[in-house]
Copies of this chain bind each other. A is one copy, B any other.
């Protein structure tokens, strides 16, 4: 039997990426990787996890319930924590606005299913989060791309996209993956104004929002939307859906994230989540809740201190070693620095060289574009290496870039 003949159109649209193949080499322990957007496991709060598990085991009835089926919406105290965390004086977000998902990635999947049709016009930044493009792609939307600069989304370009008929706009406003840019407050206000003018729904992905190393980021698009529509009006008039996750501040393998949305959306998402996988792991939700609701600030402050040093080490080294023909972003948080190579250099080719000659890995930037990929870009992550290793890696990578550039212009 030919299974391929039986694949749906959506299935046919799903293709293995070249990057996925290239990065399989990361399993080699000799590779120095700046590729993964992953937290450092040495910073995981394992002592707290142990204490939480021990406390759970002392109450056998609820310990057993932590392994039982539970309601699709999620663990109520966790939903309450999320609601409390995003409520503002102008707008109360309630438990019924929160759905717990398997990481923010599943939030994107559920939203894609209920909001996207083949051909739906969807605005995304150039570049944007690869995982979002992967899941949107399974619904075969028509992308309308929005240009960015060092301050993220350019409002004029966004208005062009809205005029071109975009129904939804997906954005990572804080320390963007992959670019590292943060959208300033004035642009955020303009984004919300334009979205209301053109009646466009916004999906705001806040994965990196808590990981700031200099100043906290500006108010979220959700905050500004609540202010824009006026006190108490968000349930009816709000157009921002916000996604959050415990993967970056706590631990990815809990697979706990959430969607914050007006109730009309949330009810539909709950029905779909129930059909898709019943609910997120009960025990993992309980552990997440306990971690979020006790001493979170101290834990996140510790992350900030460690990641800040790594970020600074990467930026200092790039300032010192990267040839002037290449430029890079200077993020105030998150995990990523974005490099624009001289025109004519191809980051995929550079990766092959880099793996062969320096055993250094990064992610070529082309995959982060919904269209018109710029292949002379690449993403570096500073989250898992020590400052010394980062400095050494940047020195060697910069030398390789210089060598490749000189070979090109020679």
Seen from chain A, the residues whose Cβ lies within 8 Å of a Cβ on chain B are 1, 3-4, 6-11, 14-16, 36, 38-39, 41-42, 44, 46, 49-50, 53, 57, 60, 63-70, 101-103, 105-106, 109, 113-117, 120, 131, 134-135, 137-139, 167-168, 196, 199, 201, 237-239, 247, 251-255, 262, 264-265, 267-268, 271-272, 274-284
Contact = CB atoms under 8 A, between A and B. Distances in A.
Contacts of A201: 1, 3, 6
Nearest to A118: B8
A394 to B, nearest CB: 24
A6 B138 contact: no
A51 to B, nearest CB: 11
B16 A278 contact: no
A116 B50 contact: no
Contacts of A53: 53
A68 to B, nearest CB: 5
A138 B275 contact: yes
Q: What 8 pairs between A and B have smallest CB-CB spacing? A: A253-B282, A11-B114, A67-B251, A41-B64, A134-B275, A106-B277, A102-B277, A135-B275
Given A67-B41, A67-B44, A11 B113 contact: yes
A168 B3 CA distance: 11
B277 A103 contact: yes
Given A10-B113, A64-B42, A254 B237 contact: no
Contacts of A237: 1
Contacts of A284: 281, 283-284
* Chain A residues touching B, majority SS: helix
B69 A253 contact: yes
26 contacts: A1-B196, A1-B238, A3-B264, A8-B113, A10-B113, A11-B272, A14-B275, A16-B271, A36-B69, A42-B64, A46-B63, A67-B251, A68-B252, A68-B253, A69-B252, A102-B102, A102-B281, A105-B278, A109-B277, A134-B274, A134-B275, A138-B272, A138-B276, A253-B282, A255-B280, A255-B281
Count of identical protomers in the assembly = 2
Given A1-B199, A284-B281, A284-B284, A115 B7 contact: yes
Given A53-B53, A199-B1, A255 B277 contact: yes
A67 B38 contact: no
Contacts of A66: 253
B253 A70 contact: yes
Contacts of A239: 1
Given A8-B114, A102-B281, 19 more contacts: A1-B237, A1-B239, A3-B201, A3-B262, A7-B114, A7-B115, A10-B113, A11-B114, A11-B268, A36-B69, A41-B64, A49-B67, A66-B253, A68-B252, A69-B253, A102-B277, A105-B277, A138-B272, A255-B279
Nearest to A257: B277
A69 B201 CA distance: 30
Contacts of A265: 3
